[in-house]
Amino acid sequence: MKKLIKRSVKVRNTTEHLRQSEHYKTRDIVSAYGFLSPALILAILFIVLPIILAFTYGFTDYYLLKPNDKEFIGLENFKRMMTDEVLIQSFKNTIKFVVFVVPLQLSMALGLALIVNKKVKGVGFFRTAYFSPAVLSLVVISILWTVMLNPTSGLINELLANVGISKQPFLSSASQAMYTIIAISAWSGCGYQMMIFLAGLKNIDGSLYEAADIDGANAFQKFLFITIPSLKPILMFLVITTTIQAFKLIVQPMVMTSGGPDYSTITILQYIYEYGFRHRNIGYASAITLAFTIFLVVISIIIKKLFREEKAA
Amino acid sequence: MKIVKKTLFYLMASLVALQFLLPLIWMILSSFKIDDLIYKDMDTIFAFVPRFSDLSLDSYVELLGFYNIFKNVGNSLIYASVTVVVGLTINSLAGYALARFKFPFKDWILIFIIALMIVPIEATILPLFLVVNEMGLINTIPGYLLPFIINVMNIFLFRQHFLSFPGELIESGKIDGLSEVGCFFRIVMPSSLNMYITVGILTFLASWNDFLWPVMALSNADLMPIQVALNAVFADTYNIFTSHMMAALTIVTIPIVILYIIFQKYIVEGSMQSGIK
């Protein structure tokens, strides 16, 4: 992001001298603002205004059903967040999901990409097969897996029984539910990222591998010293987007577990939804929204920094 | 040795493929069976291998008997199409203005757009609901569609694309007497067709798959997009027959499969483009 801003500032500097000698043409100004105004109006209404509202309501006790009764209560909401056990639980759940799903999904995606990058017959079939869950929507995936994971009559337990494993509770157990959601999310998401990795693999200069062959490098060394460094920009992009996406987990627990059992799968976004939308407790939910939004922005900046430093080193 | 290696590769690749395909095969096959058969077949190979004599369209007929799924599928198709057409127009116009014209505060507007790209939209969904609620647009189609018609990422992508658009083409249009608006719709848009298809497909998919926002913005069952309706059917009648549910899931997946078959190239390219920049 910073890079983008820097780049646009640079563009500004290089065009500065042009601009000083050349006055704006009225026609251009009219056209430009005419073209821009629908987008700008919508952006202000639906992106900027919500953020402003989160800021203002976050410091009040606004309850949607009593709109005239909202009072400024300072940092009360934020103090309450510190001791709200369900919120802390949902934060822990969200972190757990991110910490497990990002490496799992990305390594699966990279593994699949390496398989379908082989130049052999029939590889197109495998590519389509691995990608196929990506055409299902999250709701379809969630319903399908809930049916298949039914503890008493589900397909998966039947299959496990065939290899002598006893029935598992999966989504209906507080200890297994989150890991089940993690596995399903990785299963459904990795095909898409496989395609992105694959595009990156295809871009690697083949002569690098030839040179390594001459130097007597083995397959693992080639992977570690050529493939991984060449994929770095793509890897960075995928880590950032997957991490941010993972923090916003909500559809799977909403459809599959409603956050249960025992709050074991409730996520932050889901908690905001429950408190703010279902219970109409706008003040407190806005405070959480505010904290969560800032948290996400900081996280994405930190990840970018980490990658950049590694690149420089 | 080489043959052994090759066999091992195919064996491994196929085993992996099964993990991705079997759930989908089971979903589709089960939609053509009655529930008794689904559960009878479950611990046999016939859970995944069709016996054509047993397959029937009964579950589809029964599903449509108590729930008109095509209404909600139709809603979703319309919502996604409107979002694509209006969204592409508004966002590309803005991107074009930022790429082509010189005007006061241009750089500030560009920085504003770039800064908005970092806002995690879904995270601010609750205050978005409040804004739309204050406008009295909850449970209306404009209230549902407008917030996701604007897409700052797409504005930026279009701006980058139009930066390299040949100015002579536009000048020649002007000599032919076209206005700026005319130039845009007659010359710029048609010659950037690839860009529009790519961004359009991704927009369509995002709109089709959206779940959280329509849950909040549309509670009227007649207006619901299919993803929300599907979840309602699944949750309300938890004892719905498995075969009916699988038929519903299969129907919902078909339009996207068709979309992927036609536009696969654009989808992958598009996600690369929006990422690397």
Any CB–CB contact under 8 A between B96 and chain A? yes
- Provide CB contacts within 8 A for A6, sequence distance 6+: none
Q: What is the mean pLDDT of residues B252-275?
A: 79
pLDDT, residue A203, reads 83
Interval B48-58 mean pLDDT = 83
List of residues 6+ apart from A49 with CB closer than 8 A: B127, B131
Chain A's closest residue to B146, CA to CA, is A42
Q: Does B99 touch chain A (CB under 8 A)?
A: no
pLDDT digits (tens, 9 = 90+) for A83-95: 888 999 999 999 9
The count of C-alpha atoms lying within 13 angstroms of the C-alpha of B125, restricted to the half-sphere facing its C-beta, is 24
In chain B, residues 105-144 whose CB comes closer than 8 Å to chain A = 106-107, 109-111, 113-132
SS3 label, residue B273: helix
What value does the mean pLDDT take over residues A251-264? 90
Closest Cβ–Cβ partner in B42, B91, B227 for A39: B91
Phi then psi for residue B4, to 5 deg, are -60, -45
Of residues A43 and A150, more confidently modeled:
A43
Provide the pLDDT for residue B239. Answer: 67
Instruction: Provide the b/e sequence for A80-103 (b: ≥16 CB within 10 Å).
Output: ebeebeebebbbebbebbbebbbe
Q: How many C-beta neighbours within 10 Å does residue B13 have?
A: 20
Cβ distance B20 to A40 less than 8 Å, yes or no, reads no
CA A297-A300-A304 angle, 5° bins? 140
Q: Do A47 and B152 touch (CB under 8 A)?
A: yes
Task: Domains for chain A: give ranges and CATH numbers.
Answer: 2-46 (no CATH), 77-312 (1.10.3720.10)
* pLDDT for res B277: 37
Mean predicted lDDT score pLDDT of chain A:
86
Residue spans per domain, chain B: 2-56, 66-276
| A135/B271 CB distance under 8 A | no
Flag whether pLDDT at B276 surpasses 50: no
Tell me how far apart the alpha carbons of residues B22 and A166 are, in angstroms, rounded to a whole number.
Answer: 21
Average pLDDT over residues B214-236: 89
Least confident of A3-17, A78-92, A270-284: A3-17
Cβ atoms of B216 and A250 closer than 8 Å:
no
Contact in structure between A149 and A156 (CB atoms under 8 Å): yes
Is the model more confident about B58 or about A91? Answer: A91
Residue-wise pLDDT tens digits, A8-61: 555 555 555 455 445 788 888 888 899 999 999 999 999 999 999 888 888 888
Residues 6 or more apart from A290 whose CB is under 8 A from it?
Answer: A54, A55, A58
> Residue A217's pLDDT is what?
83
**Model confidence over A97-149: pLDDT tens digits?**
999 999 999 999 999 999 999 888 888 899 989 999 988 999 999 999 999 99
CATH classification of B66-276, choosing from 1.10.3720.10, 3.40.50.620, 2.160.10.10, 3.40.50.300?
1.10.3720.10
Cα gap A293→B118, rounded to integer Å: 10
pLDDT at B34: 83
Judged on CB neighbours under 10 Å (0-12, 13-18, 19+), A165 is exposed
Question: Which one of B13, B98, B245 has the shortest CB-CB distance to A147?
Answer: B245
Q: What is the pLDDT of residue B168?
A: 84
B260: closest CA among A137, A111, A203, A107? Answer: A137
pLDDT, position A150: 86
